[in-house]
Each structure stands twice: as structure tokens, then as C-alpha cells.
Structure 1
Amino acid sequence: MLKKILVSAALASAVFAAGGFTGAGSASVTSVANAKTLKDDAPVVLEGKIKSQIRSEHYTFVDNKGDTIEIEIDDKDWGGVKVDENTPIRIYGEVDKGFMKDATIDVKRIEIVK
């Protein structure tokens, strides 16, 4: 019985880990300037480029208006995507704010904009 429950749980988690709808209207892109005004943990979608690496997993992101923000991309969240400073990307993540700390973006997913 326990084996059946474990197998069912494993199958269910694999189904939920699959991707979802990514068509038009599925996510609203915001600007870096707007993202900086949002509350902690607010979901955001940004488009732009990675300008430079600050340190391990931390980068300077610049949007299409030229505004910048620090982003954090954990190794596991790259999803095999390879980019350089000229690659247009879309990032999905959440605002990370702390006491006496500028807003940053904790990136959950990254994709190349075609």
C-alpha cells in the first residue's frame, strides 16, 4: 500500500512540474522602475539583458528602458539557457526586499526572447 502511495505521489509531482501556458497574455511584462516599487515577494516578468556578473549567481540586469536592477539566478534555475550581454531575455521571478536593502529580483525562470 505504501509503495502505491509513493508511486502515485511521484507521478503527480512529475505532472505538476511540467510547463504551463506561455501564449499571449499569460504574463504581463513590467519595467525595472516599476518592479522596484512593488512589495516583497511580488511576482514580476522583466525583459532585457544581463549587463554583467556581480558575483556568483548575482547579475546586473538592464531592461529595454535602460534601468538596472540586481538579479539572482540560482544555478538550478538557468534551465540550460546560455546567454551573453547581447542576448535578449525574459525573466520570471519575484521582488526581494529587505530592511535597508535595495530591491532585487529572485529569478525562478529565464528564457531567450526571439
Structure 2
Amino acid sequence: MTRSLLIALLIAPFALQASDAFAGYSGPGVGAVVTTAAQARQQRDDQPVILRGTLAAKLGHERYRFTDASGDIEVEIDDDDIAGYRVGAGTVVELHGKVDTHRFKPTDVDVDHVAVMAPR
């Protein structure tokens, strides 16, 4: 009996760990939590982030200044990702993307998904 109990105790951690390998969903909301602009500037490269705030200005082709209560950060939004939305300076948006660090430029965020939040 002690031998089978010992085997069960040795196998249990591996069985519990294997269940994570079969998890299927890996879209928005997994691996990222709502982050402020100030926090995003301090993250490592390719760290998933979710930003909630406003697009204060268009800086150039597919480049915007995102602003929230903590400050601002430059974001890159593909035209395809923002097409169909009417976004003004006061429109609250939620941006899903990844931090993009550079050697000689400030950190920015490469946005993969844009959601316009309902006004409160």
C-alpha cells in the first residue's frame, strides 16, 4: 500500500501540471491585465498589455499618443484595426497589444486590437 501511495504522490504534480498544456484559449485577456501608460513604459519587450484611456493625438501614419491618468505613451495602431470606429480625443478606448522597446527611441505599444468603450 505504501508503494502505491508513493507512486500516486509522485505522479499527482505532473498530472495537475499537464492540464494547463491542454488549455485552448489564448486570446485577449490571457496573460495581460489592464495597465497604465506609466506601467507600460517600464515593461519588458513583447509584454502583453491592455491600455484603457483616450487617443489624444494622431502623430503620423498609424502612430497615436495614448493618454490615461498616469501619463501618455506612443502607440502604433494599424489602419485595419481602427477602421470603422469614430474615435475622437474624448473617446475612451481599450487597446490590446504588446510593449515594443527600442534602443534609441522611447518605448511604445504595438496594438493588435482596438475596442471603443461605451460612454458612461
TM-score range, shorter chain: 0.7 to 0.9
Map 1:1-114; keep pairs closer than 5 Å: 28-63=33-68, 65-114=69-118
TM-aligned CA deviation for residue 113 of structure 1: 1.3
C-alpha distance in 2 between matches for 1:111 and 1:60 = 16
C-alpha distance in 2 between matches for 1:53 and 1:79 = 14
Structure 2 unaligned residues grouped into runs of 5+: 1-26
Tell me if structure 2 keeps the 8 A contact 1:45–1:90. Answer: yes
Q: What amino acid does structure 1 have at the position aligned with 2:45?
A: D
Percent identical among aligned pairs is 35
Q: What amino acid does structure 1 have at the position aligned with 2:43?
A: L
TM-aligned CA deviation for residue 80 of structure 1: 2.3
TM-aligned CA deviation for residue 82 of structure 1: 2.0
Query: Structure 1 length normalisation: TM-score?
Result: 0.73
Bigger Rg over Cα: 2
Query: Structure 2 length normalisation: TM-score?
Result: 0.69
Tell me if structure 1 keeps the 8 A contact 2:28–2:96. Answer: no
Structure 1 unaligned residues grouped into runs of 5+: 1-19
C-alpha distance in 2 between matches for 1:37 and 1:49 = 20
Tell me if structure 2 keeps the 8 A contact 1:81–1:110. Answer: no
Match of 1:16 in 2: none
Q: 1:38 to 1:87 in 2, by over 3 A?
A: same
RMSD: 2.0
Tell me if structure 2 keeps the 8 A contact 1:79–1:109. Answer: no
